[in-house]
Structure 1
Amino acid sequence: MRRPRSSGVTWRSIRLGSTISLRSRSLGRVAVIAATAVAVLFLCLTSALPQMISDRAERAEARLPRTEFLAENSVPYAEVSSRLTLPDGNEATTFFVAPGNAPVAEVPPPPGVERLPTPGTYVASPGLHKLLDSGEVTLPGTPVGTVNDEGLRYPDEPVAWVGVEPQDMDLSEAAYASVVFTLRATKTHGFGHSRTLPASQYQINDLDLDNAVKALLLVCALLAALPCLIAATTASSLLARQRYVSLNKLVSSGISRRTSRIIAATETLYIQVIGWISGVLLSPSCASPCPPRRGGSPGN
């Protein structure tokens, strides 16, 4: 008969500790929850960082012009050239498309673009549309669509696919004074590297991060999160000790030392769980806007 009674006392103590935590408005508890959440946030972001980098590299690779060393007239192709410009200090990648041996509509478009633009039209990303609306940049032609997320390395990346005539592919640098990188026009029949090519024809780079890089990212995350974890654990222990001492004053009122320890432990565990849950819930919102990398070639 003693075991059920002891179990009932334990559950009542746990409920009492949870109630105390819910009703508490102490700044110390808020600080512990915040420190724990920040530490967990660092860990979550770093664990997701390798995949974020790989995804970004794959998106950039998927829009690169593909030639595959085919005979000139074996399949429909378009002339494609790209330029990296810096309007107002921001990167903007522009792909110029001109008809080759067939209309551009016969060439499969890259991800994020419904169809390649014909001469005199262009397709721009939402980030570039903002720059166009503000007058910071201009593009020749008429807008006929929008580049969706599948064609962007990061959400606000300014990218445009501009249709031009073949004779207009080689624009003078005077027309694009802010051009910092230009790729020559290539005969393109698709986009992204084909996985069916023999290795002797084209060597496809592995987009996965090395294990050493992943390990370095994990170590950096631990070093960044360690102070927050230590602060949160120390503060939680101090709060638990403070609660245990205050509850011991009520032992004379009938509360046993075991009950006071259970209440203090429950309150500490509750604070830690709330901090961990908060950090996990915050990590997706912080990881979604993958920031742009300064410099580099178009599409990378």
Structure 2
Amino acid sequence: MNIKKKLIAIALVCAMAVSFSACSDKKSGTKNGVATNATLSSEEIQSLQKHDLTIEPYDESAENAQDPVENSNSDAGNNDTGSAAVQGENNNSSSNNQSGNNSSSGNNNSGNNNNNNNNDDDNTVPSLNEDDLLHPTDVVMIPGKNQDSSESDNSSDNSGNETTAGKKEIMQAWWMDLSKSKDFVFDGEFITAQFKIKDTTANGTYPVTIEWTDFSNWDAQSVKFSTTDGAVVVGSEATPNSFKNDGSAEIMATNVSGNPGDTVTVTFNMKNNPGIVACVFRFGYDSDALEYVGGGSGKDFSGTFS
């Protein structure tokens, strides 16, 4: 499910849990002879609201187990009106989604991927059970670039050197923090990624590409970023990368230099960031030439947590 739908679902579940249990411990049993379901404890609510940044290999086979919500074509008529308005629209949205799915069954896979990338105005709350919500790392996304990423210079090299193509590996970063009830606003270093240049790597330029961006703010609205790819340049000096400076919210990967055996750090920097509370962010690299050895929060991103 995409980040916006996940935030809406979590917000509703947490609100209902607080209302029914006042953040008390999980309880179940009977009341007036009627069985009652267990509610979420305060610790469980906190675990839903916050997930520290993790960067892991992205398994493209996950598309075979995609959330059926992602196949809906219910964009028309829905607006970013917030989670309060969503509750009254669930019944109508579910029937609309069903008819939308039936009508789109003849579309090919590329058409479905495009529809998924354009579903940002779909506030339909997915059907989630408690076990799903207690494992927020189980994010199922459909491979592909969002609209802003596809419009960026992802297919070109920004280092000024000849590029070398090899086997692409993709890493996925996943983060969410609703605990402060506000957006995290920062510019500068967002995420860092360390790569070891393999001993057998020939001189050349090896792109580090931004494959997918999915960001949301506190109001459960999608936040769009235009993107600029970076590169690892082996055997010569890399040309510094630069933002587009077109006034949009941007993410730019740096260009770095190194030699076989070196470990280098590529930084994904933000500019004009309006504020975010959650993201799924994917980047790719040439695994024939580079080995991903680690990564994490950039200094400006982590500085917002203090």
Task: Give the structure-2-normalised TM-score.
Answer: 0.19
Higher helix share: 1
Q: Which has the higher strand share?
A: 2
The two structures have a TM-score, normalised by structure 1, of 0.19
Larger Rg: 1
